[in-house]
């Protein structure tokens, strides 16, 4: 590296200070700009709503605002995820002096009607006149008083659905990068102290205290002048899309969290590792890095301080195991994503052999609000050991399927019946699955369980990244276990025998039971293999792969039992038939031996025929 002279450093610092001013001004300008508008239409353009046709809805809104001459009065905002994905595309109308109004299942036609029959008259008549909406428009209202909205507590998702993720000015206007500015005026230890006091734990699943991970990195010496921060956005759990939405709804918050971590730990650069299947998240991270470079948020002597930092983006390529931190590092180095034993921990020897801290997307997104509002504000939310909130992708057979953020300690009952609105089929609720292929089921009998790291572990599941799949009475638990096991066997990297062989053998046994050919000893063998894998597998994927099977055996033993009993009955019937067959054959043989006397033969034959 080229050493800079004192003079050059001073110049860089001056530049940094002016860039800070410019950035804050951008925020102020944005606030001024927004004041000009009388109303705003927020349209969700996250993955789900986008797939449902949000782009053409946005065009329809713009076009009809244009034709009605309202473009100057109404601000059009394409936002991140609004939450209730099952009823998308969603659009919210906010008119000054009136309550916000949320529309569901918006089509281009509905968008035009919203502008002509809701927005235009409301603006014309002023806020004092009551709104007269047609029955059709009323039928498309999604009440903001639904428990789905009122029971949530948004920290990480606060900006999603309320702001344009591509607008840096808007991010700054709502407090963006001010946590970083605040940190740069503190000592790194003070920053670590705030995170420690907040009780923030890793949101990727295992719940490792973030402050402790950062302390380990802070203590590790620089290696060839480098230390890294890595953001784990390899959300491989099928049925979970929180990280995708958090990044898609505003990657600046995650970048800011990463930079605060880097300042606290002395890291020199950062890497985002994002699934290739998430094009929107990738686009937003790319944009955030580009904007940050342009406005001097990334670079040397940031905001006139001694802190310098750069960030880069790498894609995953469809390997579930790469969510495991040591495998992720291999993949970041451009290799096959196979895990390796710890220690050495990544904080000692990580990316390119240099100290590295790997944090989940949601963990990093929690950091800026903690810095701005204080650790006490954060630790007031949640349970004694699990602080803050958790984002879940509530999916499966639930009425209000979508992205939700709730305080830790919220009960399963509240998640499924209040926020989720019960099962979509109306049939009795059977279980929820959390933690994806590494987690387990929570049966209906545990509905009162508060959701936090410890309670989930006690039940043989885990928090995981936040997938929560609701199942009703029609879903076979053996089938679900088979599904997940199939997945982990497919995704096993093959490096260690317990996972490679154990997983495969377990799957064969589960398939055997599901196909109605299992025995009690198969069930015992499954449990033995599962226990061995948990203890002997190299990485988290292998250690947790038996969880879906073991937990369904624990809570839905009767389903396995009844399949085995059916198999036994089937076997007994088969044996009985075989016995009958062989006795018949014997008799036939005997008769054949007496063949010369044909009259006896035919008589015996007709007798047998009757018997059969």
Quick one: which of 276, 577, 603, 605 contacts other proteins (CB under 8 A)?
Answer: 276
Total residues contacting other proteins by CB under 8 A comes to 52
Interacting residues with other proteins between 433 and 472 (CB under 8 A) = 433, 436, 467, 469, 471
Provide DSSP, 185-249.
TS-HHHHHHHHHHHT-B-TTSS--BHHHHHHHHHHSPPBTTB-EEEEEE---STT--HHHHHHHT
Q: From the CB of 483, what's the least distance to other proteins, in Å?
A: 6
Instruction: Return the residue matching tokens 């991270």.
Output: 285
Q: In degrees rounded to 5, what are phi and psi of residue 308? A: -125, 145
Structure tokens at 595: 């063949």
- Binding region for other proteins (CB under 8 A) out of 163-171, 325-333, 561-569, 575-583: 325-333
Quick one: which of 57, 86, 262, 328 contacts other proteins (CB under 8 A)?
Answer: 86
For residues 49 and 46, what is the distance between their CA atoms, to the nearest angstrom?
Answer: 6
Q: Does 336 bind other proteins (CB under 8 A)?
A: yes
Structure tokens at 209: 């205290």
Q: Does 270 bind other proteins (CB under 8 A)?
A: no
101 beta partners:
93
Please enumerate in sequence order all residues whose Cβ is within 8 A of that of 408, keeping only pairs 6 or more positions apart, or say none: 381, 382, 383, 386, 387, 388, 389, 390, 450, 451, 452
Quick one: which of 115, 220, 319, 510 contacts other proteins (CB under 8 A)?
Answer: 319
Full strand arrangement of the beta sheet holding 389-396: 402-407, 389-396, 467-472, 429-434, 440-443
Please enumerate in sequence order all residues whose Cβ is within 8 A of that of 347, keeping only pairs 6 or more positions apart, or say none: 213, 216, 217, 220, 355, 356, 357
User: 58 or 564, CB closer to other proteins?
Assistant: 58
Q: Does 483 bind other proteins (CB under 8 A)?
A: yes
Q: Does 393 bind other proteins (CB under 8 A)?
A: yes
Interacting residues with other proteins between 221 and 250 (CB under 8 A) = 236-241, 244-245
- Binding region for other proteins (CB under 8 A) out of 22-30, 132-140, 249-257, 311-319: 311-319
User: 30 or 309, CB closer to other proteins?
Assistant: 309
User: 273 or 295, CB closer to other proteins?
Assistant: 273
Q: From the CB of 278, what's the least distance to other proteins, in Å?
A: 6
User: 19 or 395, CB closer to other proteins?
Assistant: 395
> How many alpha carbons fall within 13 Å on the CB side of residue 415?
38
User: 38 or 203, CB closer to other proteins?
Assistant: 203
N residues, the chain: 612
For residues 445 and 450, what is the distance between their CA atoms, to the nearest angstrom?
Answer: 13
User: 171 or 241, CB closer to other proteins?
Assistant: 241
CA angle, 192 as apex, 187 and 195 as ends, to 5°?
135
Q: Does 278 bind other proteins (CB under 8 A)?
A: yes
Q: Does 334 bind other proteins (CB under 8 A)?
A: yes
Quick one: which of 16, 27, 80, 88 contacts other proteins (CB under 8 A)?
Answer: 88
What 3-state class would DSSP assign to 272?
A: strand
- Binding residues for other proteins, rule: CB under 8 A, are 47-48, 51-52, 84-88, 236-241, 244-245, 276-278, 314-320, 331-337, 352, 393, 395-397, 401-402, 433, 436, 467, 469, 471, 475, 480, 483-484, 487, 493
């Amino acid at each position: 590296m080229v050493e800079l002279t004192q003079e050059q450093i001073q110049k860089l610092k001056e530049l940094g200070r002016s860039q800070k001013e410019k950035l804050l001004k951008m925020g102020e300008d944005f606030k001024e700009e927004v004041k000009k508008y009388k109303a705003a239409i927020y349209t969700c353009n996250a993955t789900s709503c986008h797939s449902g046709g949000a782009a053409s809805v946005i065009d329809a809104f713009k076009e009809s605002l244009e034709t009605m001459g309202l473009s100057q009065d109404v601000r059009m905002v394409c936002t991140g995820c609004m939450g209730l994905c099952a009823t998308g595309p969603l659009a919210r109308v906010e008119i000054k002096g009136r309550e916000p109004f949320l529309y569901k299942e918006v089509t281009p036609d509905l968008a035009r009607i919203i502008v002509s029959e809701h927005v235009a008259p409301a603006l014309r008549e002023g806020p004092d006149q009551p709104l007269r909406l047609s029955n059709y428009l009323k039928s498309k209202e999604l009440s903001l008083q639904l428990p789905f909205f009122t029971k949530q507590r948004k920290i990480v998702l606060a900006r999603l659905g309320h702001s344009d993720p591509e607008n840096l000015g808007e991010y700054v206007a709502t407090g963006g990068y001010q946590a970083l500015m605040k940190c740069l005026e503190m000592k790194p230890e003070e920053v670590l102290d705030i995170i420690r006091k907040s009780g923030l734990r890793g949101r990727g699943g295992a719940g490792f205290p973030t402050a402790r991970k950062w302390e380990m990195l802070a203590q590790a010496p620089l290696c060839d002048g480098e230390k890294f921060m890595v953001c784990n956005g390899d959300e491989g759990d099928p049925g979970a899309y929180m990280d995708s939405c958090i990044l898609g709804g505003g990657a600046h918050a995650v970048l800011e969290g990463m930079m605060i971590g880097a300042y606290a730990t002395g890291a020199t650069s950062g890497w985002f590792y994002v699934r290739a299947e998430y094009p929107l998240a990738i686009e937003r991270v790319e944009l955030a890095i580009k904007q940050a470079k342009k406005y001097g948020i990334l670079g040397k002597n940031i905001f006139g301080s001694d802190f310098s930092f750069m960030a880069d983006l790498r894609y995953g390529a469809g390997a579930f195991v790469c969510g495991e931190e040591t495998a992720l590092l291999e993949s970041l180095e451009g290799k096959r994503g196979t895990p390796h034993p710890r220690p050495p921990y990544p904080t000692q020897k990580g990316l390119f052999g240099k100290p590295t801290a790997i944090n989940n997307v949601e963990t990093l997104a929690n950091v800026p609000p903690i810095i701005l509002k204080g650790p006490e504000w954060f630790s007031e939310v949640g349970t004694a050991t699990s602080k803050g909130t958790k984002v879940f992708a509530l999916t499966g057979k639930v009425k209000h399927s979508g992205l939700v953020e709730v305080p830790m300690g919220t009960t399963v009952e509240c998640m499924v019946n209040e926020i989720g609105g019960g099962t979509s089929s109306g049939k009795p609720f059977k279980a929820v699955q959390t933690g994806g292929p590494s987690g387990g089921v929570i049966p209906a009998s545990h509905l009162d369980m508060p959701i936090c790291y410890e309670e989930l572990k006690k039940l043989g599941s885990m928090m995981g990244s936040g997938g929560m799949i609701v199942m009703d009475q029609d879903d076979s638990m053996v089938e679900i276990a088979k599904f997940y096991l199939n997945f982990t066997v497919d995704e096993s990297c093959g490096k260690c025998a317990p996972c490679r062989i154990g997983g495969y053998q377990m799957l064969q046994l589960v398939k055997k039971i599901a196909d109605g050919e299992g025995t009690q000893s198969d069930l015992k063998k499954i449990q033995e293999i599962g226990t061995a894998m948990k203890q002997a597998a190299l990485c988290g994927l292998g250690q947790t792969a038996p969880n879906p099977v073991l937990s369904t055996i624990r809570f839905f033993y009767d389903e396995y039992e009844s399949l085995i009993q059916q198999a036994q009955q089937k076997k007994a019937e088969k044996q009985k038939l075989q016995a009958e067959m062989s006795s018949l054959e014997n008799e036939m043989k005997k008769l054949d031996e007496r063949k010369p006397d044909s009259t006896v033969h035919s008589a015996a034959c007709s007798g047998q025929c009757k018997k059969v």
